[in-house]
């Protein structure tokens, strides 16, 4: 089907929409290659969108910046792993340094940070002394466990999902976190 564009018959609209989507994906991919080792980073609002890794996840992560985060351990098909107070899986990023996030911008859109407005609470199966926080450049506070900044994955649409396990994105791999404070690499 050709569409009237005011100057005559033009190209069908669907290829133009597809081209716009591809252009947007290219812009996101360009942001993936940036190396931000500043120790803290960009937008960590945890809001929706979905990015290139899925979507369908909630538009809010830790209940917003006005709530105190809770971290617990839960039994899953991967074994005992860390989850938030709602049962959503938490991840670590191998590129991070102790108490420093290497994830900002497009990375933080695909992997929203676990935010808190105060000292995080230790739920069942978690060692309270291993919980901590770091301040990000956007003035949000991110939860850490055993000095690993904690994140969600936009590809997890609810509790009990761990679709981000072993994903290689933004320069390193992402893993669920064990109650002992390390990455569960499945080895």
Q: Where are the domains of the chain?
A: 51-176
pTM of structure: 0.67
Model confidence pLDDT, tens digit, residues 47-97: 333 333 333 333 334 434 459 999 999 999 999 999 999 999 999 999 999
Classify residue 186 as exposed, middle or buried by CB count within 10 Å of its CB (0-12, 13-18, 19+): exposed
Buried/exposed code over 3-36 (b: 16+ C-beta within 10 A; e: otherwise): eeeeeeeeeeeeeeeeeeeeeeeeebeebeeeeb
* DSSP track, 67-113: S--EEEEEEETTEEEEEETTS-B-EEETTPBTTB----THHHHHS-B
């Amino acid at each position: 089907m050709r569409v009237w564009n005011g100057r005559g018959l033009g190209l069908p609209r669907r290829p133009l929409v597809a081209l716009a989507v591809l252009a947007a994906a290219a812009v996101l991919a360009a942001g993936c290659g940036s190396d931000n080792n500043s120790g803290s980073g960009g937008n960590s609002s945890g809001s929706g969108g979905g990015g290139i890794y899925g979507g369908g996840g909630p538009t809010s992560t830790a209940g917003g910046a006005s709530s105190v985060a809770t971290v617990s351990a839960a039994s899953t098909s991967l074994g005992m792993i860390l989850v938030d107070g709602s049962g959503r899986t938490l991840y670590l990023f191998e590129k991070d340094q102790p108490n420093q996030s290497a994830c900002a911008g497009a990375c933080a859109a695909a992997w929203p940070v676990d935010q808190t407005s105060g000292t995080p609470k230790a739920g069942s199966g978690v060692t309270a002394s291993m919980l901590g926080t770091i301040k990000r450049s956007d003035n949000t506070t991110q939860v850490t466990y055993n000095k690993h900044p904690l994140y969600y994955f936009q590809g997890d649409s609810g509790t009990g999902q761990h679709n981000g396990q072993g994903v290689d994105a933004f320069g390193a791999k992402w893993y669920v976190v064990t109650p002992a404070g390390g990455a569960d690499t499945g080895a």
